[in-house]
Amino acid sequence: MRLWLVASVSALVSLPITSPTAADPPPLRGLGMALRKDVREDMAPPPSPDPSVETLATLINLHSGEAVPLSTTEPSQERFSTLLADRVTGSVADLDPRLLDLLRTLAKDAPGARIELISGYRSPKLNEMLRKKERNVASKSQHSEGNAVDFRIVGLTPKEMKQRVKATGWKGGIGQYDKPTDYFVHADVGPKREWREGVGRRKRR
């Protein structure tokens, strides 16, 4: 018995010592750690906004309740157009960049302001719905071309807002709406003109 045990140990000692080859699979533990690392990277929150960029105001879509910071770099033109998509069909049009530039200019004179957006792009369907409901909606609206925005700056009257828009040297249309149900200003990039709700029976553009 003792001789058999010694012979077995001797045989094991004499076996060659081998090392893993390139064909050997990697340890499962290491693979698991790599996968978990990838998942963590994919789920990482987006980087924080650059603290050096000052927020001028907050844009709020009154129909959706969506709020977006307004700064010299935010929102992008694409994001602005999405924010003011048609509220009935959800369709998006490329809004004229001069509209966003106007809001930025106005916000610089009213730091920290709340700018409420009433209307941006209007699809033909929405515009026709408004025409049937309200007589002061134009059949060929600048809104349907992505060339207009209706908004108000909380704390200012429509008259004060209109004056501020004019002070920027705005070369398009400016409308003033004073009713409690229509308390805003309209700005578009069409021909230079201005009007006030109820005066001269001008149709809303």
User: Alpha-carbon torsion 87, 88, 93, 95, what sign?
Assistant: negative
Both ends of the chain: CA-CA distance in Å? 108
55-196 architecture in CATH?
2-Layer Sandwich (3.30)
pLDDT for 8 equals: 47
Edge-to-edge strand ranges of the sheet holding 193-196: 67-71, 55-61, 113-119, 148-153, 182-188, 173-179, 193-196
Residue 3 has pLDDT above 90, yes or no: no
User: In 3-state terms, what secondary structure has residue 136?
Assistant: coil
CB neighbours of residue 106 within 10 Å: 24
The mean-pLDDT minimum among 8-12, 137-141, 187-191, 198-202 falls in 8-12
Q: Look at 41 and 28; give whichever has higher pLDDT.
A: 41
For the chain, the structural domain boundaries read: 55-196
Q: Is the pLDDT of residue 177 over 70?
A: yes
Residues 140 and 170: beta-carbon distance below 8 Å: no
Nearest to 71 by CA among 52, 50, 56: 56
Total residue count of the chain as it appears in this document? 205
Is the CB of residue 71 less than 8 Å from the CB of residue 53? yes
Q: How confident is the model at residue 141 (pLDDT cuts 50, 70, 90)?
A: confident
> Considering just the CA atoms, what is the radius of gyration of the chain in Å?
32
Tell me the pTM.
0.70
Give the torsion through C-alpha atoms of 117, 118, 119, 120, to 10 deg: 0
Residue with the larger pLDDT of the pair 145 and 129: 145
Q: Is the pLDDT assigned to residue 133 strictly greater than 90?
A: no
Instruction: Write the pLDDT tens digit of every residue in 29-51.
Output: 333 333 333 333 444 444 455 56
Is a pLDDT exceeding 80 seen at residue 178? yes
Instruction: Please tell me which residue, 148 or 36, carries the higher pLDDT value.
Output: 148
Please give the pLDDT value at position 57: 98
Residue identified by tokens 């008259």 is 159
Q: Residue 136's pLDDT band (boundaries 50, 70, 90)?
A: low
Q: How far from the centroid of its chain's Cα atoms is residue 29's Cα?
A: 42
pLDDT at 195 over 90: yes
